[in-house]
Structure 1
Amino acid sequence: MANSKHTYDYGVIGNCAYLALIGKDTNISWMCWPRFDSSFIFGSLLDKKKGGEFSVRPSDPHFRCNQYYIENTNVLCTEIENTHGRYRVTDFAPRFHHSERYFKPIMLIRKIEPLSGTPHIKVTCNPVGDYGSIQPDHVRGSNHITYLGLEEHVRLTTNVSLTYIIDETPFVLNETKYLVLTFGEPLEAPLLNTAESFLVKTIAYWRNWVKSTSISNYYQTQVIRSALALKIHQYEDTGAIIAASTTSLPEAPHSTRNWDYRFCWMRDSYYILTAFNNIGHFEEMERYFHYIANVSVQAKDRFQPLYAINGASKLTEKELDLEGYLGNKPVRIGNDAYTHIQNDVYGQVLVALLPLYVDRRFIDAGRVESLKLVYHTVNKLEQYIHEADAGLWEFRHLKQMHCYTFLFHWAGANAAWKIGQYLQDDTLTKLANRLRQEAAARIEECQDRERGVYTNAIGSKYLDASTLQLIMMGYLDPSSELARTHLRNLEKELKTPEGLFYRYRHADDFGTPETTFLICSFWYIEALACVGRLDDAMREFEKILQYTNHLGLLSEDVDAKTGSQWGNFPQAYSHVGLVNAAYRISKKIDLPNFL
């Protein structure tokens, strides 16, 4: 594996209620029901034996595959061809407007169409529960199979012979077939008409959603795919946006850096809200703001770095008896990072609240309701501004006075100052201004004046890609020599010849990081654009695009030597990085010259 390029050969579908990964062999390799953070119902991604299966495979194991999205949608097509013939499986999670609401049922629809010849196929549907420890009984109905023993009844409604499915017997596909898998509430409506109607409406919904975005012509196709991927990582019921739909996909082979990312990281609020603002999507911003507000109000003392999608604070980490992705153990659910002290989160919340006061799309009621939260958060920032923490990268056994944390103290205090100015609240303005000055003073303690660079922490010699944000967030004047020398130092130490960026190069709790972190590469591109190195930014952006999979989806990490994808997949924050980097470049260039 070390000498070959590893990619995640999966597409992702979803409807803002659940997500599913579908392999080129048509198998649903990962799907958690009924929520993003529930047990998988199909999880062969992490265990071939215990993970169950839902596939429409050819009877002959030798076949060719072509997988693609219907343009500008999250509807996935997988075409299979061998000596017997060719067929297409269209997979989607229904989503459209119905009765003045979004219709987003816990339902997976698979349409199977013969395209040429006489394809021989085998339909297998074996859901599991409790991370593979429950093998449900099945009960045959007239045109459906009900799987018993899971959290709720799971039902497969189909016009495929139930005998063929239960016995896993191959058959000739000579007409279009449908498979509708439901959780809890079964499909009682006519199968064919319902499936076709839902498909047409879902395609129309996604295309209208794309039309409503404000995306420039700069690598528009790639930005649209990233925006679509980011959209379905929002759990619409609460507004939370998860980092990724998966758990325990390793950052590097056998590194044991296998984490559960099916949670919402508060400390990434700024980047997510920026991405949605950059594509002109107000609704997602508003839902995410409400999630942040609800979680923040519930926090009794400290804000945690991450929360569950329902706002739950306890995310106890445990290991499962599963074989792991390509044998990589451990397989973890939960994430002990919820116990960490990451004080940049207070600045993240304040920066997230700022649009309520500067964006005229928000009404006055929202501003008034948020003022208590502003004061509460500013007071917490004041309380913890001089405290060492685990930092952005969640070091498990290391606390430092991190430059990045002080940057968000500065940015959060600056946001609070602007809110105070807007409200003509002298008390808030004075407090915020004092905290802004204190944070700036601590940032300056991180400067290595001899090298002309800011290090990762006070008293440290190590560099960290997170300090690129000093330029991007305006702490450093992008036109200054200090900004340029800081960037050059980071390039020299953390950039690979391929244009990828490490988070840092010093050892942590698990040794020295082996793979690069994609969002850092996008931060680098933004920083290049900020300091006026536009040609470099465009060149590096084009380089990064080669690290997508066959569908334009990004992982969390990339091995610089092989170009391999690693880490949880698809990674929402990598797609956030792509959207924001493309936006930053597009604002700097004369687009007609690049069409």
Structure 2
Amino acid sequence: MPMKKHTYNFGLIGNCAYLALIGKDTNISWMCWPRFDSSFIFGSLLDRQKGGEFSVRPSETNFSCNQYYIENTNVLCTEIESVHGRYRVTDFAPRFHQHQRNFKPLMLIRKIEPLSGTPHIKVTCNPAGNYGTIKPARVRGSNHIAYLGLEEQVRLTTNVSLTYILDEEPFVLNETKYLVLTFGEPLEAPLITTCEEFQVKTIHYWRNWVKSTSISNYYQSQVIRSALALKIHQYEDTGAIIAASTTSLPEAPHSTRNWDYRFCWMRDSYYILTAFNNIGHFEEMERYFHYIANVSVQAQDRFQPLYGINGASKLIEKELDLEGYLGNKPVRIGNDAYTHIQNDVYGQVLVALLPLYVDRRFIDAGRVESEKLIYHTLHKLEKYLHEPDAGLWEFRNLKQLHCYTFLFHWAGANAAWKIGQYLQDNTLTELAHRLRQEAASRIEECLDPQRGVYTNAIGSKHLDASTMQLIMMGYLDPNSKLARSHLRHLEKELKTPEGLFYRYRHADDFGTPETTFLICSFWYIEALACVGRIDDAMREFEKILQYTNHLGLLSEDVDAKTGSQWGNFPQAYSHVGLVNAAYRISKKIDRPNFL
């Protein structure tokens, strides 16, 4: 019997202060307050009993649903139809400009509208605290319910009968109702007019943001959705961008590869900054640069692969007593990868600093402040250039001299050389030039001349999808015979018939990888475009689009045999990959595509 395709049937909302996943049944299945990395307040995604619930379900068990975004926004609509009638729940996290600032409160607004018939609905609101160990007391107010015992007061303000909510009894929806959940400061303004005003302003904000996005017509709607998803993964207060909004969604069923991705991976800085640059968004780049600079300055001897959204360096990994997504254990918070040695991070920081000197949108003050950091980082690159590390994929029990790490040593030294040229600093350019040559010589030690392919590490025969970056970052001339040979060998060993790509196929700490990694598929598409195989790149891009969920959202991993989505969701870096791949193709073609 063929395995059933697994898809994450959730929509994502957020306002750069928090994120929430909403199921097609209207339940808030995942939401962490007050920060991205806080305990969930609703977490049935990981435990149906301890995770609480916030739903607007029909009284009948049989119903159909349709979920969609209001065009070019992060405002989500879920329409439910049952025997008694049809209604719509509109969910959004308010975000708009107010008093010369971005207004982004810890506030969730749910608007419930009857559309036809006389729908019978039941509103359930039972938040949880401390990852399900705290069940807050419920206190009835005049027009609200206060939930006590959490970090700060959580309040539900509504024009729905409080009795129906507290007793979890169904009622007839014969007029528009509003639910406003707040953390800390409650809603004291008029309910209906405030909700309507906030919805109009939030829609206006997101549509203006999209209008200011520089993208081609090539699969424009898919790029817009990815850009909107990526935007709300930035924690605006510090500028950090998290890998995903969730923790412990397995890379493959019962693989135990269940990780907490609610942190900022420094080693992915280059790809994130490239994505925001490709869509023409400067503000997000600038905020992320400030985060990188703050973390780098505070770092002691080494830079870590990842940090907390507040720059925290200790992200101690713990296992929680939760049932896990579809029974997949363990459930982890924190991530021990912060202890790993990943030496490509120094090159990532230097490449991230380069736009300060080549992009005229940055003013001189930003450049001056970064000069000490450039020297500081380049000396660290020099110190650790020849040291084995855990590599891009964070092997827990294996250290090697990885080709990918040497590539970022090369790219980082090259960026430092360009900065030295700009500053007319001979000391900097000479040091950077020497390190660039050293890194290149180590990359060449990864070349298997008989096969015409670069392996994952010095002395290894294994191939790794990350080495496609040799082409994409300009180390290999994309028009060269070696670049084409290298790509063909990667295709032969790591590509599936469906166009998906494994990171690698050799065993690691947890066995052989079972699922493909979406970002690698987008790298492949970029590499195809680089070497001039444009038709192949366009065909493969179209194939990958089938692996989104019903709203165009991407997971981390895909099972090539079933097309199932796995891994944390939505995966910001998968959306980064889509944005960058579409940009790379669009630069190579001159005909629009409005599909």
Give the TM-score of the pair, scaled to structure 2.
1.00
SS in 1 for 2:35: coil
Q: Show the 5 A alignment for 1:66-85.
A: 66-85=66-85
| Superposed structure 1 runs of 4+ greater than 2 Å apart | 591-595
Distance in 1 (CA, whole Å) between partners of 2:168 and 2:493 is 55
SS in 2 for 1:178: strand
**Counterpart of 2:536 in structure 1: which amino acid?**
D
In the alignment, which residue of structure 1 is the partner of 2:337? 337
In the alignment, which residue of structure 1 is the partner of 2:441? 441
Q: Show the 5 A alignment for 1:26-175.
A: 26-175=26-175
SS in 2 for 1:326: coil
Structure-2 change in CA distance of 1:564 and 1:593 (3 Å): closer
Asked if the contact 2:219–2:593 (Cα under 8 Å) also holds between the matched residues in 1, the reply is: no
**CA apart distance, 1:177:** 0.1
**Counterpart of 1:160 in structure 2: which amino acid?**
V
Q: Show the 5 A alignment for 1:254-333.
A: 254-333=254-333
Any idea what the Cα deviations from partners look like across 1:294-322, whole Å, max 9, x if unmatched? Answer: 00000011000000000000000000000
In the alignment, which residue of structure 2 is the partner of 1:519? 519
In the alignment, which residue of structure 2 is the partner of 1:491? 491
SS in 2 for 1:417: helix
Any idea what the Cα deviations from partners look like across 1:515-570, whole Å, max 9, x if unmatched? Answer: 00000000000000000000000000000000000000000000000000000000
Distance in 2 (CA, whole Å) between partners of 1:60 and 1:359 is 58
SS in 2 for 1:125: strand
Distance in 2 (CA, whole Å) between partners of 1:191 and 1:331 is 38
SS in 1 for 2:245: coil
Structure-2 change in CA distance of 1:248 and 1:593 (3 Å): closer
Question: Which runs of 5 or more residues in structure 2 are unaligned?
Answer: none
SS in 2 for 1:478: coil
**Counterpart of 1:53 in structure 2: which amino acid?**
E
In the alignment, which residue of structure 2 is the partner of 1:395? 395
Any idea what the Cα deviations from partners look like across 1:42-79, whole Å, max 9, x if unmatched? Answer: 00000000000000000001000000000000000000
**Counterpart of 1:236 in structure 2: which amino acid?**
E
SS in 1 for 2:326: helix
**CA apart distance, 1:174:** 0.1
**CA apart distance, 1:160:** 0.1
Asked if the contact 2:247–2:259 (Cα under 8 Å) also holds between the matched residues in 1, the reply is: yes
In the alignment, which residue of structure 2 is the partner of 1:20? 20
Q: Is the aligned partner of 1:187 residue 2:187?
A: yes
Distance in 2 (CA, whole Å) between partners of 1:42 and 1:365 is 43
**CA apart distance, 1:396:** 0.1
Any idea what the Cα deviations from partners look like across 1:198-251, whole Å, max 9, x if unmatched? Answer: 000000000000000001000000000000000000000000000000000000
Q: Is the aligned partner of 1:205 residue 2:225?
A: no
Distance in 2 (CA, whole Å) between partners of 1:36 and 1:290 is 19
**Counterpart of 1:218 in structure 2: which amino acid?**
Y
In the alignment, which residue of structure 2 is the partner of 1:481? 481
Q: Show the 5 A alignment for 1:173-252.
A: 173-252=173-252
In the alignment, which residue of structure 2 is the partner of 1:529? 529
In the alignment, which residue of structure 2 is the partner of 1:468? 468
**CA apart distance, 1:472:** 0.1
In the alignment, which residue of structure 2 is the partner of 1:410? 410
**CA apart distance, 1:594:** 7.1
**CA apart distance, 1:123:** 0.1
In the alignment, which residue of structure 2 is the partner of 1:419? 419
**CA apart distance, 1:432:** 0.1
In the alignment, which residue of structure 2 is the partner of 1:5? 5
SS in 1 for 2:523: helix
**Counterpart of 1:353 in structure 2: which amino acid?**
L
Give the TM-score of the pair, scaled to structure 1.
1.00
**CA apart distance, 1:591:** 2.3
Distance in 1 (CA, whole Å) between partners of 2:183 and 2:592 is 49
Asked if the contact 2:289–2:352 (Cα under 8 Å) also holds between the matched residues in 1, the reply is: yes
Asked if the contact 2:87–2:113 (Cα under 8 Å) also holds between the matched residues in 1, the reply is: yes
**Counterpart of 2:502 in structure 1: which amino acid?**
Y
SS in 1 for 2:486: helix
**Counterpart of 2:29 in structure 1: which amino acid?**
S
**CA apart distance, 1:593:** 7.4
Structure-2 change in CA distance of 1:593 and 1:144 (3 Å): closer
Q: Is the aligned partner of 1:358 residue 2:335?
A: no
**CA apart distance, 1:2:** 7.1
Distance in 1 (CA, whole Å) between partners of 2:518 and 2:506 is 18
Structure-2 change in CA distance of 1:539 and 1:141 (3 Å): same
